[in-house]
Structure 1
């Protein structure tokens, strides 16, 4: 849906007018909350033809730009929808259920999810460099020598292929000549996030908020076998988190989804903890941000509203290269994530 709208250079309001529906309806379709009915699908297919996008008569048009964009770019057809991503998160949460209280699940899952996202984006960028310079090895050497070519540099031990066991990594020796190889997945994950922060200081306090190998009374907070199950869940081929695989604000949506599930599990209202996505986009459209403007949120949480302002600003003026100036503060450090543009390519 978003790909069609972008190709026709329409805002959500303009597309709603052409379809004879409300702005909120289009917003829900693009967010994956609802699917268009048959009459609307026929009109959407007509617009797709006008935009020069071949989605096929039976194509799904409700889940943002994901499916259509993948067809245009040649990405895997089995890439995840919003619903399957939510299922992935809940499967991962259930993998460590009983190990931690429900509200603490996110403290372990979100850094892992962020690590997976960083790694998949890194792989995408290495692929881009490979196409530019001719082969994978040359691309890796160039990336090692010039980290500025990448959004974030991922040290080898933190790349998901190594964490999941698909690739080998030769762990170095310490100053005493002993191997630094971690004893289990918990130690590996802790070493991985610390290595990422060392190479990318901007991520300090974002990705290294927990110690996956922490112990209490001689026992691990989270059993390594349980952590391995989470890694295996995130390693599924359908759950890739690269540039063309998920929407730019995926991490924020994941955070909100987990908050909602945990709130429901404890008999609370999720609205107490975050602003629902639809309301956030409505607020952003009401504000109609323009390139270069300053946007402040003094209780920003995971910065979801700030990110939505930037997304709407791009939607309103897709040709502008001037980003918004985003500022936020949050009392609860564990709620924060960087709204840096590099997180939302």
Structure 2
């Protein structure tokens, strides 16, 4: 058998082939992501939930009841996640449905007779005449003929209802696919975790695998900080609702806790509660509730939450705050968790470059 010497350009050909293969793989990955682009949010949410629950998954997996039963464990955890989301929404919807009849009757009365000027307007320290005049011109007369309500005609309400229904349907479908993806991730279990880590080491080396672990820790710490701080704000503001005489204080505290898990959303809830107190004539209680709410939110958002997240991820306060707010602005709700993870990557790269 005759061995021929390699062609002079074989090294160049191999280099060109490697570049072409990399370009082809990258193009195929981009095409695949474009094809499944509608399902990327569901996969991202499933990844966040799986990262947060992974320590609990590993602990439960070692128990004798679930040892070797990954399908049963995946089913239990997925159902638990579904209940944690669906149950509060269902309870809130039932409570809201109970109040719907009274709200409908009030709206019908307002449409026919208008809304009388509250007594508290006359007791305002300043601007009472201006507020009273505006109220008389826009709200005291039947709302169906009010200038302030001219844009709230039937077509606008129907359009809003359709838009809200479409958004709710889209969110429900995304949630359903998220649960399916989460079940698959849990069912794969340690095998999937090992594959991801081996792939990270092969592609990026030991430093890349360690960086991936730091990002997962950042996501887990962010979720923990959001949930813990949100529950704390809900409890403290729920106590404020109860003391101030706001009806359904427990339900409103639950709504506040959910809103507080998103940065700076809790003020919307307690400000509406304070406005209700003002309409009822309880000005002192309304001001006290508003002041208490802003104090709680300020301390929670600027000190407690960044400390909880920063201590786990070793991120400075400012990077935690920028990561949460910038991530939410750029990527939407999922960006609240992506932002701190990206800030962690930035810190690690900076530390490695500065050494």
* TM tier relative to shorter chain: under 0.3
Normalised by the length of structure 2, the TM-score is 0.26
Larger radius of gyration: 2
Normalised by the length of structure 1, the TM-score is 0.26
